[in-house]
């Protein structure tokens, strides 16, 4: 997750495990500190409000609680060892996994640097990405999973799915060596979490009444508020991944905004044509699709590429959402797989196209053609999806045997807020 210039050698040089320690750069430090705050803002309160508004009123607190608890859990696991196993030197196993030298950050003080920013800042910045990844999966099993099962699943998924994939791409692993491009998480986060959400939806089964009973969002004002926070926070997500306060971060921010806007309008116009009226839910969902799809490409492409990727995101994710729910009748409650998973796949493949200098991008590595790069992207996507499918399924099945995954039918009807937390989101309920 460092700035890519198009030259593979420079990409690797700037990766954290190979960065040459230098003097503290205060401008870069300030920007990454700001970006860290923005990315955490995406999860709490952004994603929390977005997801909370999308569920029924009897389950709103359960979703807010899940996002909040995941933030706390991942933070502790990140300190305990996940950060180290991704970014510390793994020695002979470096291509597969990092080392243990940074468990609990021994010897890391105010003067310790990663590149030209404090390692504490880099630690925090990367931690916010780890936090939002399992939080995204919440949308796949919303309104029916036990809180205890959710905690266990989130922690184990972070260790068994997020950790290895993140190391392979951002920690000096074998996918990075192959030249796979993922600037800010299209593969590491969106494909990984999107596939896991689909697996969770299939293992848990549909909510009672789905798909015959309408389950509309209970509070669209909350949804739009959360969506707006996601849009703003995403600038830290993508532009912050440059790890520099310069034109590279500026370009990443620009293409992120164009991707969001074009994805949003495209979804709105398709929905308008199909159903006669544009919906608020549609325009904000299109925005999220545009943001998720532009994420892997954001540090490699120009504005024209961003426009095409955003439009493509609106089209592909719209039809994927309807196919999953209406044709396959899979209750991925908040459309995590068709928006984030499919968007991540689409954006990651198109990164290999629009990163080419002839198409306005910053350029591919020497001797690498568009077809070569798209092939590497496809391999990284396939490996990530397969890994996430297998381990997400195993985690869920083991937890189901040990503690059970799902609340009872009566508890689901009553609502998770009162059943699991003895609280309600609204006083009149």
Average pLDDT rounded to a whole number, residues 211-220:
94
DSSP secondary-structure letter at 302? -
**Distance from C-alpha of 331 to C-alpha of 314, rounded to nearest angstrom:** 21
The pLDDT tens digits for 88-103 are 999 999 999 999 999 9
Confidence at 4, pLDDT banded by 50, 70, 90: very low
Average pLDDT over residues 273-290: 97
Q: What is the CA radius of gyration of the chain?
A: 20
* 113, β-bridge pairs: 118
Q: Distance (Å, rounded) from C-alpha 320 to C-alpha 341?
A: 10
Q: What is residue 9's predicted lDDT score, i.e. its pLDDT?
A: 41
> Measured between alpha carbons, how far is residue 385 from residues 188, 407, 423 in Å?
10, 28, 37
- How many whole angstroms from its chain centre is CA 383? 17
- Reported as a single tens digit per residue, the pLDDT across 17-60 is 333 447 999 999 999 999 999 999 999 999 999 999 999 999 99
pLDDT value at 224 more than 60:
yes
- Percent of the chain exceeding pLDDT 90 equals 94
| 316-372 residue pLDDT tens | 999 999 999 999 999 999 999 999 999 999 999 999 999 999 999 999 999 999 999
Query: What pLDDT, on the 0 to 100 scale, is given for residue 429?
Result: 52
Q: Is the pLDDT of residue 6 over 60?
A: no
Contact 157, 390 (CB under 8 A): no
Q: Taking residues 275-282, what's their average pLDDT?
A: 97
Round to whole Å and give the CA distance between 349 and 346. Answer: 5
Neighbours of 240 (CB within 10 A): 29
Give domain status of residue 210, yes or no: yes
Asked whether 241 and 1 are in contact (CB, 8 A), the reply is yes
Distance of alpha carbon 86 from alpha carbon 78, whole angstroms: 10
The H or E element that residue 36 is part of is helix 26-41
Share of the chain above pLDDT 70, in %: 95
- Output the six-digit token pair for 259: 């991707």
Asked if residue 169 is part of any domain, the answer here is yes
* CA distance from start to end of the chain: 45
Range scoring the smallest mean pLDDT among 53-57, 83-87, 109-113:
109-113
DSSP sequence for 305-316: HHHHHHHHHHHH
State the Cα–Cα distance between residues 90 and 101, nearest whole angstrom: 9
Q: Is residue 428 part of a domain?
A: no
pLDDT number for residue 17: 38
Report the predicted TM-score, pTM, of the whole model to 2 decimal places. Answer: 0.93
- pLDDT level of residue 427 (50, 70, 90 thresholds): confident
**Residues forming beta bridges with residue 114, ordered by sequence position:** 117
95: helix, strand or coil: coil
Q: Residue 77 sits in which domain range?
A: 8-421
Question: Looking at the domain assignment, is residue 175 inside a domain?
Answer: yes
Q: What percent of the residues of the chain are helix, what percent strand, and what percent coil, each to the nearest 5?
A: 70, 0, 30
The reported pLDDT for the residue numbered 428 is 66
In the chain, the number of structural domains is 1
Q: Flag whether 1 is in a domain.
A: no
Element (H, E) at 117: strand 117-118
CA distance 129 to 88: 17
H or E, element range at 278? none
Bridge pairing between strands 117-118 and 113-114: antiparallel
Rounded Cα distance between 201 and 136, Å, is 13
Q: Within a 10 A sphere around the Cβ of 204, how many other Cβ atoms?
A: 19
In tens, the pLDDT along 162-208 reads 999 999 999 999 999 999 999 999 999 999 999 999 999 999 999 99
14 has a pLDDT exceeding 70: no
Which run of H or of E encompasses 114? strand 113-114
User: Among 325, 388, 53, which residue's Cα sits nearest to residue 189?
Assistant: 388
Q: What does the pLDDT look like over 123-150, one tens digit per residue? A: 999 999 999 999 999 999 999 999 999 9
CATH of the domain at 301: 1.10.3430.10
CA distances to 136, 150, 195, 282, 391 from 199, rounded to whole Å, are 13, 14, 6, 24, 10
Instruction: Give the integer Cα–Cα distance in Å for 49 and 224.
Output: 8
């Amino acid at each position: 997750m460092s700035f890519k210039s198009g030259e593979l050698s420079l990409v690797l040089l700037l990766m954290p495990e190979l960065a040459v320690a230098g003097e503290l750069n205060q401008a870069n430090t300030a920007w990454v500190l700001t970006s860290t705050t923005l990315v955490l803002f995406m999860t709490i309160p952004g994603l929390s409000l977005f997801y909370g508004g999308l569920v029924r009123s009897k389950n709103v607190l359960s979703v807010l609680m899940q996002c909040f608890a995941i933030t706390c859990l991942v933070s502790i696991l990140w300190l305990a060892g996940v950060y180290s196993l991704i970014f510390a030197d793994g020695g002979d196993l470096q291509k597969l996994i990092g080392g243990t030298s940074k468990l609990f950050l021994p010897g890391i003080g105010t003067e310790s640097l990663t590149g030209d920013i404090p390692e504490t800042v880099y630690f925090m910045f990367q931690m916010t990405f780890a936090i939002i990844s399992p939080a995204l999966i919440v949308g796949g099993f919303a309104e029916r999973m036990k809180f205890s099962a959710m905690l266990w699943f989130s922690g184990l998924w972070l260790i068994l799915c997020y950790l290895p994939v993140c190391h392979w791409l951002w920690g000096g692993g074998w996918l990075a060596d192959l030249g796979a491009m993922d600037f800010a998480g299209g593969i590491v986060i969106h494909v990984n979490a999107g596939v896991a959400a689909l697996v969770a939806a299939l293992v848990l089964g549909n909510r009672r009444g789905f798909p015959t009973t309408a389950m509309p969002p209970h509070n669209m004002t909350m949804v739009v508020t959360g969506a707006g926070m996601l849009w703003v926070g995403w600038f830290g997500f993508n532009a912050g991944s440059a790890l520099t306060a310069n034109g590279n971060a500026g370009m990443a921010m620009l293409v992120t905004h164009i991707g969001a806007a074009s994805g949003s309008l495209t979804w709105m116009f398709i929905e308008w044509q199909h159903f006669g009226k544009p919906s608020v839910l549609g325009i904000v969902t299109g925005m999220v699709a545009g943001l998720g799809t532009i994420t892997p490409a954001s540090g490699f492409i120009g504005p024209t590429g961003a426009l095409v990727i955003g439009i493509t995101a609106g089209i592909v994710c719209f039809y994927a959402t309807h196919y999953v729910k209406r044709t396959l009748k899979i209750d991925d409650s908040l459309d995590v797989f068709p928006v984030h998973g499919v968007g991540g796949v689409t954006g990651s493949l198109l990164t290999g196209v629009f990163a080419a200098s002839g198409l306005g991008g910053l350029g591919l590595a020497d001797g690498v053609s568009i077809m070569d790069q798209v092939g590497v992207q496809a391999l990284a996507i396939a490996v990530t999806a397969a890994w996430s499918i297998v381990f997400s399924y195993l985690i869920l099945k083991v937890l189901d045997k040990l503690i059970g995954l799902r609340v009872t039918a009566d508890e689901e009807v009553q609502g998770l807020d009162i059943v699991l937390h003895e609280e309600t989101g609204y006083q009149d309920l």
